[in-house]
Every structure is written in C-alpha cells, then in structure tokens.
Homo-oligomer: A and B are copies of this chain.
Amino acid sequence: MEKRATIYDIAREAGVSTATVTRVLAGHPSVKTATREKVQRVIDAHAYTPSASARDLERGQTKTIAIVMPAVINPYFTRVYNAAYREAEACGYYAWLFQIEEHKPIPRELVDELIRRRMDGVIFAGGIWSTQRTGLPEALERLRHYMPVVTICPPAVDLDCICIHSDLVACSRLPVRHLHALGHRRIAFIGGSMRLNDPSKRGENFLEELRALDLPDDPAYHVDAGFDAESGERAVLRMLSGLDRRRWPTGIIAFNDQMALGAIKQLKQMGLSLPSDMAIIGCDNQFFCPYTDPPLTTVDLHPEEMTQSAVRELLLARDNQAGAFSLMREASLIVRESCGAKLGYRKLG
C-alpha cells in the first residue's frame, strides 16, 4: 500500500505551516482566500485525508458510539441497529456494532475493547437478557467511568444508567385483552417464560393479565421455548399434545413473530384452520407479518423510536453528565387477521 501524505507534506508543499492546513481543513474563517485556495489545491492533488487515529488521540474523542447487541440475525435487532446507525449519522457520529451471544456473559475482552477504542458512548440493546447472567451490571460499572451508557432493555434491577424500554406490561396486556374482547377465554403463551429468569417479565405479565380478567391461568398454558420459528413449532406441539382437546386454548400469544410463524405452521399441520380454530398473536411487527396466512396480528414495540431516543440521550449525557433515569415507549397492537378480526390499526388501553 502507498505511503500516505501527512499534514506535514501538505504544509511543506503549500508553503505554509501545519496550523494553516488544519485551519483550512476545519474551515476556520481567519484564512486568506488566496491561502485557502492554495492549500486546498495541494490537498486535492494528493487526495489527502487526515488520520483519524492522530486526531482522536489529540482530541480524546472518536465521534463513534458502540452498539452492543445479540446477533443481528434476529430482525428485531436489525431494526435497532439500523435506527442507531441513522440517528448517529444524523448527529455527526458513526455507529459501530459489536455482537455478543445472547445468553452468555458479556466478554470482558469486549468491554476492554470499547475502552481501548475510546468509544464516545455505548448502547446495550437486548430485550431478553437476563441481566444477572450476562454480567451487564459489572460491565456497566466498569464502562461508566469512561463513557456514557444507555440500555435499551427491560428496566431490570438497579442498572445505574439511562434505560430506554418499551411498555412491557402493555405488551402482554394488549394481546390478552384483544383476545378476551373477541370472546376468547382460554389463552396460552409460548416462549421466554418466567422460569428463564426473563427480565422482560413477559410471562409474569401475561399471567397477571389473565388473573385480572378472571381467566384460567393453567400452568399448561405457558411453555418454555427458544426464540426462533422452530421453537414456536415445538412449543405448540408440546403444549397441545399434553392437553386434552377440550382444554385446548383458543388463542395463543407468542413471545415474538418468529415463534408465531412456527406456531402457525404447526397448528396447520395438526389440521386446525386459522383463525377459526385458533387465534394467534405475535410480537415485533416484523416485515413478514402481513404475509403469513392468515396475516399476523402483532404488537409493535417501536424499536426505531426507542433507539433514536437512546442515541439522543447518549449524546446528551456526554455533556450534561445526567444521572440514571428511564424512559418508556408505549406499545401498539397491530391488528390483522390472525385472530379473526379485520379492523385495521387499533389500540387497546
């Protein structure tokens, strides 16, 4: 690779000092037009681009924020990442994604790397971590000395940082009430169960909603599973095959849309027709929801808006030194046809 021109080369060739070159680069006003043009010509001639390492070293900042998330294979995280990238860009920053494994501790090495690379801030996202097992609090404790941190995840125990999250109570209430309003009485939940120490408490919230409506909270109506489509299949199979047909639920709420996808397949395979024999609701409003058969009713957590707030608050926190606080984003039910209703967009309190 070629030897790069440095600011000294440019200064020498333009017959000025490096300070003047810096001024031209920064668009500083106190440079004579003639000088500016002369320097600019040399810059252009060499296609000179100043070294970010050198600048960062001197300035003590990198104009870069880190996003730490589980694999972007999951479309939800794809949306988070995209929103972060765009918002950062709009604020004159770059976003850098660091992937972690969903259910493993955050590697110490990664935390070090974020500090080494002098990130101007970090966003941790991940709705389904168990904060205990991932060691988020410890990572946070270390990072907070060096950079502001914002999390996009359930407001779990004593995370001493800015926390953006969605209304996870509504996230359970909306679908339960929707099904209830449509006449369903036996409602089940698949995935991300309470037994997994799920900080989002989706399972617990689900149960509470059932109780609030005097519906049966039969333990057979919620089963553990992974978070992908195949888990959805398995969960449905496991639940229904263990249950006398007369006790089958009439509606199923899935932890996310992928699981709903799998559930739909399994239900059809068992000979049920949807939505008449079984209603189903997903979560996340993924791109494929309008294209399932029947189109999937789901909950939208508005990850883009949450992420946008996260980036803004992060950048604000750099200056303000603001303490910990949390911000909640409401959830919306997106009604399609998988519950038999065809009402367009609608919110339930």
Cα A159 to Cα B200 with chains together (Å): 49
Contact segment of A7-15, A51-59, A207-215:
A51-59
Q: Is A216 an interface residue (CB 8 A)?
A: no
What 1/0 mask marks residues of chain A from 39 to 60 whose CB sits below 8 Å from any chain B CB?
0000000010111111011000
User: Which residues from chain B contact A2 at a C-beta distance below 8 Å?
Assistant: 145-146
A contact residues vs B (CB 8 Å cutoff): 1-2, 4, 47, 49-54, 56-57, 62, 71-73, 75, 78-79, 81-82, 85, 94, 96-99, 112-113, 115-118, 142, 145-148, 228-229, 258, 261-262, 264-265, 268, 287-288, 290-293
For A148, give the chain B residue with the smallest CB separation.
B1
Q: Is the CB of A50 within 8 A of B82?
A: no
Of the candidates B52, B116, B290, which one forms a contact with A116 in the assembled complex, judged by CB atoms under 8 Å apart? B52
User: Which residues from chain B contact A99 at a C-beta distance below 8 Å?
Assistant: 82, 85
Q: Tell me how far the C-beta of A162 lies from the nearest C-beta in chain B, rounded to whole angstroms.
A: 15
Q: How many copies does the complex hold?
A: 2
Q: Is the CB of B229 within 8 A of A290?
A: yes
User: Which residues from chain B contact A261 at a C-beta distance below 8 Å?
Assistant: 288, 291
User: Which residues from chain B contact A57 at a C-beta distance below 8 Å?
Assistant: 51, 53-54, 57
For A287, give the chain B residue with the smallest CB separation.
B229
A selection of 7 A-B contacts at a CB cut-off of 8 Å is A4-B146, A51-B116, A57-B57, A72-B82, A96-B97, A229-B290, A265-B291
Cα A268 to Cα B56 with chains together (Å): 57
Q: Is the CB of A288 within 8 A of B229?
A: yes
Q: Tell me how far the C-beta of A107 lies from the nearest C-beta in chain B, rounded to whole angstroms.
A: 11
Cα A145 to Cα B2 with chains together (Å): 6
Q: Is the CB of A50 within 8 A of B147?
A: no
Of the candidates B53, B78, B94, which one forms a contact with A72 in the assembled complex, judged by CB atoms under 8 Å apart? B78
Cα A268 to Cα B293 with chains together (Å): 9
Given contacts A53-B56, A94-B113, 6 further A-B contacts (CB under 8 A): A1-B147, A72-B81, A73-B79, A73-B82, A265-B290, A288-B288
